Structure formats: structure tokens, C-alpha cells
Amino acid sequence: MLFRYIDSFLDHMRVEKSASSLTLVSYRSDLSQFFIFLADKYKTPREEIPSELLNHKSVREYLAYLQQQGLSRATMARKLAALRSFVRYLCRENVLSGNPIAAVATPKQDKKLPRFLYPVEIEMLITAPDITSTAGKRDRAVLETLYATGIRVSELVGIDLKDIDLANAVVKVRGKGNKERIVPLGRKSLESLTVYINDARIVFARKASENSNALFLNKYGKRLSDRSIRNILNKYVEEVALNQKVNPHMLRHSFATHLLNNGADLRSVQELLGHVKLSTTQIYTHLTRENIKNVHNETHPRR
């Protein structure tokens, strides 16, 4: 019976993954809704749903049901992400011998447009590192900085310790053509960077054969490479079971899309991304079209 494992799963996410209270509430709601769907479909109390009913077919039917209910792709993706994470936990605890929903795909966006993650997926990804460990503190800071600033991975690995201004919550980055720009840091990224610099970076630095000016260091005390950042990202993508290929540039796409969805103007986003041409930034306006339609539907007097 799988339903009884929800509480221990949430405890795992809270203690070991430092998931926020909002994420935990969303997980509980999404998982409960899935079990209610199975209970109604198979005429079985949700507390008695056997593991055999959690499979590729039942999850696909659940997604079809959500679509019929008019739920957005973002909501469907969130619910599926929560379910995937729960299944991965069950596999880890040997409740399930294998992942029965590994082949279920996340509802995708138009392939011609930049791919991005939804806010709940970003939350899951960023909170995945174990911040009780030295490497986990670094990895959390890496992910927080990528998403908070929208910088390119090449810009991230090029940051030196002196480029970080914790007092003013900004970072100086060198973009294409070696052009410099100042990018603000959010509260959460500032907190993660402070912890990393004070508690973790000094540990990595001790292992170096010579001093490094780099902000982000590997286990040998040397500057992290582009490949290292990709490996770090891939590790946590697999851990939270997003079931899609995620690269560092997707965090940049997510940064821009989420800013525009929340009312930022295009010129400001252009400056933050370091785009020379506004037309380069305008591609993200296509990703916000669904949000614009929702605003129109909710506010126009003759909708």
C-alpha cells in the first residue's frame, strides 16, 4: 500500500532536501489527488491502492484526465514532477523494485522555442543538494546563482571571488566580447553564496596546490569548468527525476521567462541577460503568450 509512504517521503524532502513548506504542501496535495484519481477509477480506498496500480498506463490516464479538466501544462508538469520524485523515493527505500513510470514524458513546449523549467521544477532542482555537506553547499550556490542571475555557464565559471559584492548583493560578470555587466543577486542566492564562501570554499581552497582566484572551486581547489557545472546539474536533475534533459542554459531561459511572466519589461530583461539586440530577448515573449491570454481572459470586461 503506497499511500502510507507519503508522510515519510515528505519528511525525507524536508530533512534531507531542505524543501520549503510551500513545496511540501504542493507535494502532499498533488500526490493525494493522484491517489484519489486511482481510488475513483479502480473503486478502491486510496489507503489500499496496491503498487501494481502505479504504472505507466495509470499515470498516462491521469495526465489525460488532468488535461480534460482544463489544467495548464505548467500545473500538469508540477503534478507529474511530484509523482516522479515520490516514485524515486519508493525505489530508494526498496518499496518498489523498479521505476514503473520512468518512460512517462513531461508535457513539452514548442520545440522551436527555448526550453525552460517551471517554478516548481526550479524549486525542486535548487533544493536538491544536501547542504550539510561541503559539496552540497557549493552546488546549491551554483544553482541558485545560475537561476538568480540568468548568466551563461561560461560567465559563471569565469567569476572570481573579487567579483562578488555580498554587501550590495551584486556580481560582476564578463559576457560575450569580454563585456562586463553588473547583475543583482536575489536574497536566496545571496544566502547560499554567503554560506558557500564562508563554510565550503575555504575547504576546497585548502586542497589547492596554488591559490585560485575563482569563486567556484572543485575538489582539487581549482576553478570549476563548464563540464563540471553540467555534471553537477545532471546529477540533481536525475535525483529529482525531472525526466528530461536539462542544461545550464535552460536556467537562463527559465530566468527570463519567469521575469516576463511576473511583469518585468523587455528592456530590463535584455540588460540582465546581456543581450546586445532587443530582438534576441523578444523570443521569450512567445513563451509568455499563455500567461498573456490568461490575463486577458480574467480581466477583459467582455471576455
For the cut 80, the answer to whether the pLDDT of residue 112 exceeds it is no
Output the pLDDT for position 118. 87
Q: Can you tell me which residue has the cell 522551436?
A: 112
Q: Could you tell me the residue ranges of all domains in the chain? A: 3-92, 119-290
Report CA-CA distances (Å) from 164 to 197, 230, 280.
Answer: 10, 22, 27
Active site residue ranges? 152, 176, 249, 252, 275, 284
Output the pLDDT for position 110. 43
Outline where DSSP puts E strands in the chain.
Answer: 164-165, 170-174, 180-184
How much of the chain, in percent, has pLDDT values that exceed 90? 60
Output the pLDDT for position 38. 95
Output the pLDDT for position 274. 80
For the cut 50, the answer to whether the pLDDT of residue 21 exceeds it is yes
Query: Sorting pLDDT into bands at 50, 70 and 90, what band is 111?
Result: very low
Output the pLDDT for position 205. 93
The stretch 62-88 carries a mean pLDDT of 91
Over residues 148-169, the pLDDT tens digits come to 999 999 999 999 999 999 999 9
Question: CATH assignment of 3-92, given 3.90.470.10, 1.10.150.130, 1.10.287.130, 3.30.2290.10?
Answer: 1.10.150.130
Q: Are 100 and 54 in contact (CB under 8 A)?
A: yes
- With vertex at residue 144, the alpha carbon angle to CA 142 and CA 146, rounded to the nearest 5 degrees, is 70
Over residues 96-106, the pLDDT tens digits come to 999 999 988 88
Q: Does domain 119-290 have CATH number 2.40.110.10?
A: no
Higher pLDDT, 264 or 204: 204
For the cut 50, the answer to whether the pLDDT of residue 63 exceeds it is yes
Output the pLDDT for position 289. 60
Higher pLDDT, 74 or 124: 124
For the cut 90, the answer to whether the pLDDT of residue 137 exceeds it is yes
